[in-house]
């Protein structure tokens, strides 16, 4: 079996950490037990391009238990946990191609390695696999029956492809499930982003001016958690409804040129490019921290920052100091890549439990139904979403009310008014 990981000697550590995450993934665990019995993915080759973490390992093991031949590569050059990659390749016999810090060429070579398995299903986080298939390996679409996509950015790319009529096979937008984005994007990104910034810098958040760019589900989560640690949070938005929501959630809302001179810590989560750029760098305070937790490393114009800087040096792990011509020092975290995965361990297992339960069940759904689907982006079926919520509540020991027959009748009638 072929694989490309940093050091197979790390496998024992990876195994322990994979087991640790599994304890917090009861929904995925139940799916794994059923998959082991029923083998719904038997005969399927599945190409997964995901952040190679302990949680992803548990998903890959579940898919394998379901009968799939899984091959895995990283969905970001800086998010791989090398001990996990080692354990997957050697202990769990899952061909894994991922090394933390791999360069761009290696990153794409690894995607090609996974695609060389000639998959029937693709599972993406950011749509890079789909991108490569559609640009360089169109022949593979013949055998691919369908795919799934994990993240907001990937879903946006796929919808653009479907709108242009170029998408070659159906894909389920896992991100759009309520049990995914309401929890993973909000509570997962909220906690793990603050975790990444704190691990990289050890800065005190209490009293700091924390600027959140983008008030989608991820931005909402980061703003909420930064405030929880005492930061004075500023939100920058381009959407008037979200800006209004942020205002009524109690944050200061202002354009970035106003936030730039007063912010101590900046974090972008917009999914867009050049959110922090030259005009903002010129205004920032000496010592400002600049980070990104959006999927791609395009939100901070690092090229401009490095070009303008008179000196650039690494001052701590994941912290690059850029000295500006006037002597101000700006600190960029994790090369402008997702700071929650670069400097921390990504979202905690308990939320990934629901995201990856969606991935597992949507792969099964694709195997059952892909033949009848068009070359479009599909929502996660409501039954899957609700079942995951039910299982998670049960695992947390939480019971909820049921409608009485009179309430069911009332909800279904249109004649009962005042
Ligand atoms: N995306 C964010 N956090 C993650 C995690 N822990 N595992 C996989 N993908 C993630």
Token readout for 78 is: 């800086």
**Tens-digit pLDDT profile for residues 365-405:** 999 999 999 999 999 999 999 999 999 999 999 999 999 99
CA 149 – ligand 1 centroid, Å: 13
- C-alpha 346 – ligand 1 centre gap (Å): 5
Distance in Å, CA 83 to ligand 1 centroid:
15
Summary mean pLDDT of the chain: 97
Q: What is the pLDDT of residue 125?
A: 97
Question: What homologous superfamily is domain 187-342 in, according to CATH?
Answer: NAD(P)-binding Rossmann-like Domain (3.40.50.720)
Is it the case that residue 335 has pLDDT exceeding 80? yes
What is the Cα–Cα distance from 114 to 48, expressed in whole angstroms?
8
Reported confidence tier of residue 415, pLDDT bands at 50, 70, 90: confident
The response to whether residue 56 sits with its C-beta less than 6 Å from ligand 1 reads yes
Ligand 1 centroid distance, CA of 45 (Å): 22
Model confidence pLDDT, tens digit, residues 176-192: 999 999 999 999 999 99
Query: Is the pLDDT at 362 greater than 80, yes or no?
Result: yes
Ligand 1 center–CA 324 separation, angstroms: 34
Ligand 1 atom closest to residue 151's alpha carbon, by position in its atom list: 1
Whether 346 lines ligand 1, by a CB cut-off of 6 Å, is yes
51 lines ligand 1 (CB under 6 A): yes
147 lines ligand 1 (CB under 6 A): no
Residue 416: pLDDT band (50, 70, 90) is confident
Strands (E), 318-395: 319-323, 329-333, 377-379
Burial class (CB in 10 A: 0-12, 13-18, 19+), 68: buried
Cα–Cα distance measured from residue 291 to residue 297, given in angstroms and rounded to the nearest whole number? 10
Any ligand 1 atom below 6 A from CB of 62: no
What are the counts of helices (DSSP H) followed by strands (DSSP E) for the chain?
18, 15
Ligand 1 pocket: which of 83, 217, 341 to mutate (most atoms <8 Å of CB)?
341
pLDDT digits (tens, 9 = 90+) for 196-217: 999 999 999 999 999 999 999 9
Residue 417 has pLDDT above 90, yes or no: no
Which ligand 1 atom is the nearest neighbour of the CA of 338?
Answer: 2
Query: Ligand 1 centroid to 354 CA: how many Å?
Result: 11
Ligand 1 nearest-atom number relative to CA 125: 9
Ligand 1 centre from 12 Cα, in Å?
A: 21
58 CB near ligand 1 (under 6 Å) = no
Q: Residue 346 CA: which ligand 1 atom is closest?
A: 3
Assess contact for 70 and 94: CB atoms under 8 A.
Answer: yes
pLDDT of residue 58 exceeding 80, the answer is yes
pLDDT score at 100:
97
DSSP character at residue 270: S
* Distance (Å, whole) CA 382 – CA 361: 12
Question: What ranges in 164-239 are assigned the alpha helix state H?
Answer: 178-180, 189-201, 217-228
CB 352 less than 6 A from any atom of ligand 1: yes
- Nearest CA residue ID for atom 9, ligand 1: 51
> In terms of residues, how long is the chain?
418
Note whether 8-180+347-395 and 187-342 share their fold: yes
Please tell me if the CB atom of residue 293 comes closer than 6 angstroms to any atom of ligand 1: no
Give the H or E element holding residue 128: helix 128-135
Mutation choice for ligand 1 from 57, 74, 79, 126, CB with most ligand atoms inside 8 A: 79
Mean predicted confidence (pLDDT) in 244-267 = 98
C-alpha of residue 133 to centroid of ligand 1, in Å: 23
Q: Which is nearest to 168 in space by CA: 197, 203, 132, 192?
A: 132
- Judged against a pLDDT cut of 90, whether residue 329 lies above it is answered with yes
Q: How far is the CA of 154 from the centre of ligand 1 (A)?
A: 14
**Distance between Cα 55 and ligand 1 center (Å):** 7
Residue of 22, 347, 348, 358 to mutate, ligand 1, most atoms within 8 A of C-beta: 347
Please identify, by atom number, the ligand 1 atom nearest to the C-alpha of residue 348. 6
Q: At a CB cut-off of 8 Å and minimum separation 6, what does 412 contact?
A: none
283-309 tens-digit pLDDT = 999 999 999 999 999 999 999 999 999
Q: Is 53 in the pocket of ligand 1 (CB under 6 A)?
A: yes
**pLDDT for residue 418 is more than 90:** no
- The string of pLDDT tens digits covering residues 64-118 is 999 999 999 999 999 999 999 999 999 999 999 999 999 999 999 999 999 999 9
Ligand 1 centroid distance, CA of 17 (Å): 14
**8-180+347-395 CATH fold:** Rossmann fold (3.40.50)
Q: What percentage of the chain exceeds 70 in pLDDT?
A: 100
pLDDT, mean of residues 146-173 = 96
Question: What are the extents of the domains in the chain?
Answer: 8-180+347-395, 187-342
């Amino acid at each position: 079996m072929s694989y490309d990981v940093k050091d197979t000697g790390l496998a024992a550590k990876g195994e322990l950490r994979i087991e640790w995450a599994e304890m917090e993934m009861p929904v995925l665990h139940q799916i794994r037990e059923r998959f082991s019995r029923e083998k719904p993915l038997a005969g399927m080759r599945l190409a997964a391009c995901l952040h190679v973490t302990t949680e992803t390992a548990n998903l890959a093991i579940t898919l394998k238990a379901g009968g799939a031949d899984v091959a895995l590569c990283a969905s970001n050059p800086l998010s791989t946990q090398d001990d996990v990659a080692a354990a997957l390749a050697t202990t769990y016999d899952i061909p894994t191609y991922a090394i933390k810090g791999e360069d761009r060429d290696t990153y794409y070579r690894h995607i090609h390695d996974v695609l060389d398995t000639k998959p029937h299903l693709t599972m993406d986080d950011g749509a890079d696999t789909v991108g490569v298939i559609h640009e360089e390996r169109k022949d593979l679409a013949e055998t691919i029956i369908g795919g799934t996509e994990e993240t907001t950015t990937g879903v946006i790319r796929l919808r653009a492809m479907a709108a242009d009529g170029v998408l070659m096979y159906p894909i389920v937008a896992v991100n759009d499930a309520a049990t995914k984005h309401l929890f993973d994007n909000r509570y997962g990104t909220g906690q793990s982003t603050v975790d990444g910034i704190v691990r990289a810098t050890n800065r005190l958040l209490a009293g700091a001016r924390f600027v959140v760019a983008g008030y989608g589900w991820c931005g909402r989560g980061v703003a909420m958690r930064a405030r929880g640690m005492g930061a004075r949070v500023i939100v920058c938005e381009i959407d008037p409804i979200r800006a209004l929501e942020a205002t009524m959630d109690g944050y200061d809302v202002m354009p970035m040129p106003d936030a730039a001179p007063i912010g101590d810590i900046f974090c972008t989560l917009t999914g867009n490019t050049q959110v922090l750029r030259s005009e903002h760098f010129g205004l920032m305070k000496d010592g400002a921290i600049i980070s990104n937790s959006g999927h791609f490393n395009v939100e901070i114009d690092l090229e401009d920052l490095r070009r303008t800087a008179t000196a650039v040096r690494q001052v701590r792990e994941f912290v690059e100091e850029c000295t500006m011509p006037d002597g101000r020092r700006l600190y960029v975290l994790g090369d402008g890549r997702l700071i929650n995965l670069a400097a921390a361990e990504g979202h905690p297992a308990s939320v990934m439990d629901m995201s990856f339960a969606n991935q597992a069940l949507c792969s099964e759904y694709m195997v059952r139904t892909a033949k009848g689907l068009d070359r479009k982006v599909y929502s996660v079926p409501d039954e899957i979403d609700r079942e995951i919520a039910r299982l998670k509540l049960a695992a947390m020991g939480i019971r909820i009310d049921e409608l009485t027959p009179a309430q069911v009748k009332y909800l279904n009638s249109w004649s009962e008014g005042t």
